[in-house]
Chains A and B, each alone.
Chain A
Amino acid sequence: MDAVRDLGLLASGSSTGEGLDSFLQLPLPIIDDEDRRGKVIRVWMRASDPDGDVLELEGISRIDLVDYMSGEGGLDDHKRKYLYRDPVGSNTTWGFSPIYKLGAPKGDLEARVVALVGIADDDGFLRWREDKDTRFFKLEKRVLGDYQLSGRFTQGSLDGILRDLESKVHEIAELWEDKKRSYILMFGLEKNGKYLYPGEANAFKGYFEDKFSKVSGDSGKAGKGKGEVRCSMCDQKGSSSVNLDKIFAFATFDKASFLPGLDKKSESKVFPICQGCFAALSSGREILDRAFTDRQTVRGLNLYVVPELTLGSDKLAMASEHTADFVRDGLKVEDKVFRRLARQDDSLVLHFLFWEKNQAQEILHLMVEDVPPSRLKRLEDLWIESYRHFLWNYMEKPVFDPKEIDLDVGLKVIYQVMTSLSGKNEQDKKVMVSRILDLLGRLLSGELVDVTGVKQLMVSRLYGLCSNPEWIRYGGSEMRKMSAVIDFLIRANRR
């Protein structure tokens, strides 16, 4: 938690980390590959007074397409312009900003129109209001509808916008065409021929602030009627606080063993956080999501890699340039996560968090704290030895080159081998994923691994595997991978 907070503070450049900036997120991940980078379909809405706190909308003047994160300014400027924050849940009827994630398109133009507005009835009328699978239905129900309900759009404004949008559906479908990219539909305002981003319009900013203060205020049960509350992070007393669940959904209250979590009235005592730390943690979490998340190591799970400077976040200047760059830039430019981590120096430690997103739920599977990069380097060296003996193809490359091998491949091979041992049904696969996580956890934390157990598991599945002609075709290399894994685990167990 301290490391996440430090990341947030580092980004805000202050020790308080206050202001709305800390709570803003990016609607799409930043992708370096130009062919896969996101796109923004901008909707230009006409309003009688674009700067007003309440918008009287007159319709849509145009729709265009721009690159995601294009235009002037740095990351923070873009965040301010988009004014985005993930909705608080998947079943909410409002979002924080007038942005709707269209995702990647599927099918031809006609299929995309159907995805947007559904199939027209025999009379040619569009029935998207009755078809909850259409994008327009979701757009109205989950994003735009609440602007009118909450009074930020005048009565009747939304109908005009949706009518115009309907008439331009083919235009949108044409822009939403590249299957390799993710798209967002963003509603801004036209002002003197210029596009006002949501973050540049008072009405949208006001709406965000209203919603956000409600969310952080609702959870501020901690402060209600109980006088001052101490922040669990910085230990400062304050009158208003939020709970950790507003930052990490896996911080649930149902931990009966750990505090009065099962008693609703006492929820606030579980992990109260002051507004300053809330801002820093929110900002830290946004940085984790954007720059320190790996999704390759275990399929279906997110891996947060949280760096923490051993000397404290204010000593970044004392860390090597290489390490400082890493803390600032994160993992995004690097495919080989563990290779990069293993090359950091020990002025920082790493915390690993494997978690899974399931709708609004976040399930925490494994947390390994305080891993020095030198431990990863050692694991990498051990893997290189195992690879050399079992997997290097001397026929193709007679000279062994350790530079071609890294820990990422090692973890990938462990994952592949272990999943190949699981049964076909989902339950078996889940059990195997938890075994894999146990294994990774032990490797990362430097604990002993039960190699005999792993070998036993492999041997118990051999009979079945050998009777499968598909498997036996690659049986030689599959067995060599198993040997490499066993060999690696034995090496890792040696002190």
Chain B
Amino acid sequence: MNFDFFDGFSDPYMKTDSGKGIFVAGIVLGMVARGQGGGQDVDGTPLFKQLNFGRIKKRDIAKHMSRVPELVGAYRLKYGRLINALAAQGGELLLAGNEREIGVDGNFAFSVAFLNANKYFWSIFKSDAKDMDDDQVDMKGDN
């Protein structure tokens, strides 16, 4: 996993474990939602509908993150192994960060990551993508 992209952020929040954890959670849940949608618009997916963007609490994220392996299995998501691995990493970061609430910074970071999940997911797994078959990898950026 390559988290170099965090170096590009000048926001000090993105240098903290909490910030990174929330961001990674956003990527993971964004990938799950995209998988649920199966090519449809992401705003129609069950996961998207459960998220109150801008008002998300830390326990909401914890709750959804705990269900990721289950959802990956249930929806037979593509790249499930990578999503699960990233979810584990995100969980660790979230635990290491000791802020009680995610607040404005967390909500902002989560939304950026969620809506750009594909882009950041593949920048984390760039090297893994090279090892995969071409048809397995959808490298198209969001929008």
Binds A, one of B65-73, B76-84, B91-99, B135-143: B135-143
Chain B 43-55, CB-CB to A under 8 Å as 1, else 0, gives 1000000001111
Q: A463 touching B54 by the CB < 8 A rule?
A: yes
Contacts of B5 in A (CB 8 A): 389
Chain A 453-479, CB-CB to B under 8 Å as 1, else 0, gives 001101111110111010011111111
Minimal Cβ-Cβ distance residue in B for A460: B54
Q: B55 touching A463 by the CB < 8 A rule?
A: yes
Chain A nearest Cβ from B142, distance in angstroms: 3
CB contact list, A405-462 vs B, under 8 A: 452, 455-456, 458-462
Q: A452 touching B112 by the CB < 8 A rule?
A: no
Given A475-B115, A479-B115, A486-B11: A455 and B108 within 8 A (CB)?
yes
Q: B10 touching A491 by the CB < 8 A rule?
A: yes
Interface residues on B, range: 20 to 34
Q: A462 touching B54 by the CB < 8 A rule?
A: yes
Q: A472 touching B9 by the CB < 8 A rule?
A: no
Complex Cα spacing A469 to B141, Å: 19
Contacts of B53 in A (CB 8 A): 462-463, 465-466
Complex Cα spacing A477 to B8, Å: 17
Contacts of A463 in B (CB 8 A): 52-55
Contacts of B9 in A (CB 8 A): 389, 487
Does A315 touch B at the CB level, under 8 Å? no
Does B17 touch A at the CB level, under 8 Å? no
Does B104 touch A at the CB level, under 8 Å? yes
Does A482 touch B at the CB level, under 8 Å? yes
Q: A477 touching B143 by the CB < 8 A rule?
A: yes
Contacts of B8 in A (CB 8 A): 388-390
Chain B nearest Cβ from A398, distance in angstroms: 12
Minimal Cβ-Cβ distance residue in A for B123: A394
Complex Cα spacing A410 to B42, Å: 29
Minimal Cβ-Cβ distance residue in B for A493: B10
Complex Cα spacing A466 to B108, Å: 13
Does B119 touch A at the CB level, under 8 Å? yes
CB contact list, B80-133 vs A, under 8 A: 104-105, 107-108, 111-112, 115-116, 118-119
A390, A462, A482, most chain B CB atoms within 10 A: A462
Given A459-B54, A472-B43: A395 and B139 within 8 A (CB)?
yes
Does A324 touch B at the CB level, under 8 Å? no
Does A328 touch B at the CB level, under 8 Å? no
Q: A476 touching B116 by the CB < 8 A rule?
A: yes
Q: A473 touching B108 by the CB < 8 A rule?
A: no
Q: A479 touching B116 by the CB < 8 A rule?
A: yes
Complex Cα spacing A474 to B11, Å: 23
CB contact list, B21-60 vs A, under 8 A: 41-43, 52-55
Contacts of A255 in B (CB 8 A): none
CB contact list, A372-395 vs B, under 8 A: 385-386, 388-390, 393-395
A463, A474, A475, most chain B CB atoms within 10 A: A475
Contacts of B41 in A (CB 8 A): 469, 472-473
Given A455-B105, A459-B107, A480-B112: A469 and B143 within 8 A (CB)?
no
Minimal Cβ-Cβ distance residue in B for A491: B10
Majority secondary structure, A binding face: helix
Task: Give the residue of B52, B104, B111 whose beta carbon is less than 8 angstroms from that of A452.
Answer: B104
Contacts of A455 in B (CB 8 A): 104-105, 108
Task: Give the residue of B10, B55, B141 whose beta carbon is less than 8 angstroms from that of A490.
Answer: B10
Complex Cα spacing A487 to B107, Å: 16
Contacts of B115 in A (CB 8 A): 472, 475-476, 478-479
Does A483 touch B at the CB level, under 8 Å? yes
Complex Cα spacing A480 to B108, Å: 11
Complex Cα spacing A389 to B14, Å: 14
Contacts of B55 in A (CB 8 A): 463
Contacts of B112 in A (CB 8 A): 479-480, 482-483
Complex Cα spacing A390 to B111, Å: 14
Contacts of A466 in B (CB 8 A): 43, 53-54, 111
Contacts of B104 in A (CB 8 A): 452, 455-456, 459
Minimal Cβ-Cβ distance residue in B for A492: B10
Q: A490 touching B107 by the CB < 8 A rule?
A: no
Between-chain CB contacts (< 8 Å), 23 pairs: A389-B8, A395-B140, A452-B104, A458-B108, A459-B54, A462-B107, A462-B108, A463-B54, A463-B55, A466-B54, A469-B41, A473-B41, A476-B115, A476-B116, A476-B143, A479-B111, A479-B115, A480-B116, A482-B108, A483-B112, A487-B10, A490-B10, A494-B10
The 6 closest A-B pairs by CB, nearest first: A462-B54, A476-B142, A389-B8, A466-B53, A463-B54, A475-B115
Residue ranges of B at the interface with A (Cβ–Cβ < 8 Å): 5, 8-12, 41-43, 52-55, 104-105, 107-108, 111-112, 115-116, 118-119, 139-143
Residue ranges of A at the interface with B (Cβ–Cβ < 8 Å): 385-386, 388-390, 393-395, 452, 455-456, 458-463, 465-467, 469, 472-480, 482-483, 486-487, 490-491, 494
